[in-house]
Amino acid sequence: MNRFLTRLTLSLTLALAAGSAMAAVTFIHGATVHTLAAAGTLPEADVVLQDGRIAAVGLHLAIPAGASVIEAHGQVLTPGLIDAYGRLGIEEVDGESATVDTSGKNLPYSAAFTIADAINPRSQRIDVNRAEGITAGLIAPVAEPGSEGLAPIIAGQASFARLRPGAALEIRTPVGFVFTYGEAGADLSGGARSGALLRLRELLADARDYAQHRDAYAAGARRTYAGTRLDLEALQPLLHGQVPLLAEVQRASDIMALLQLAREEQLRLVIIGGTEAWQVASALAAAKVPVVLDVFENLPSSFETLGATFDNAAKLNAAGVEIAFAYAEHYNPRNARQLAGNAVAHGLPYTVALAAITRNPAHLYGADATLGTIEPGKAADVVLWDGDPLETTTMATHVIIGGELVSPITRQTLLRERYRHLGQPQPPAYVKP
> 81-371, superfamily in CATH?
Metal-dependent hydrolases (3.20.20.140)
Per the model's pLDDT, the better-predicted residue between 48 and 22 turns out to be 48
% of the chain beyond a pLDDT of 90: 69
Q: Is residue 279 over pLDDT 80?
A: yes
Residue 425, class by beta-carbon neighbours within 10 Å (0-12 exposed, 13-18 middle, 19+ buried)? exposed
What CA–CA distance (Å, rounded) separates 201 from 53? 43
Alpha helices in 248-358 (DSSP H): 252-265, 281-287, 312-319, 336-345, 350-355
Query: Residue 233, class by beta-carbon neighbours within 10 Å (0-12 exposed, 13-18 middle, 19+ buried)?
Result: middle
* 302 C-beta neighbours (distance < 10 Å), count: 13
> What is the structure's pLDDT at 13?
46
Q: What is the pLDDT of residues 117-160, one digit of tens each?
A: 899 999 999 999 999 999 999 999 988 776 666 677 888 999 99
CA distance 396 to 31: 13
CA-nearest of 283, 374, 314, 358 to 47 is: 374
Report the alpha-carbon distance of residue 150 to residue 143 in Å, rounded.
9
pTM, two decimal places: 0.91
pLDDT of residue 108: 61
What is the fold, at CATH topology level, of the domain defined by 1-80+372-433? Urease, subunit C; domain 1 (2.30.40)
Q: Kindly tell me if the per-residue pLDDT of 83 is higher than 80.
A: yes
What are the tens digits of pLDDT across the range 100-119? 766 766 666 689 999 898 99
Q: Where are the domains of the chain?
A: 1-80+372-433, 81-371
291: pLDDT strictly greater than 70: yes
pLDDT at position 2 over 50: no
**Overall average pLDDT of the 426-432 stretch:** 70
Instruction: Give dist(CA 91, CA 140) in Å, integer.
Output: 11
Residue 37 exposed, middle or buried by CB count within 10 Å (0-12, 13-18, 19+): middle
Condensed to tens digits (0 to 9), the pLDDT of residues 305-362 reads 999 999 999 999 999 999 999 987 777 899 999 999 999 999 999 999 999 999 999 9
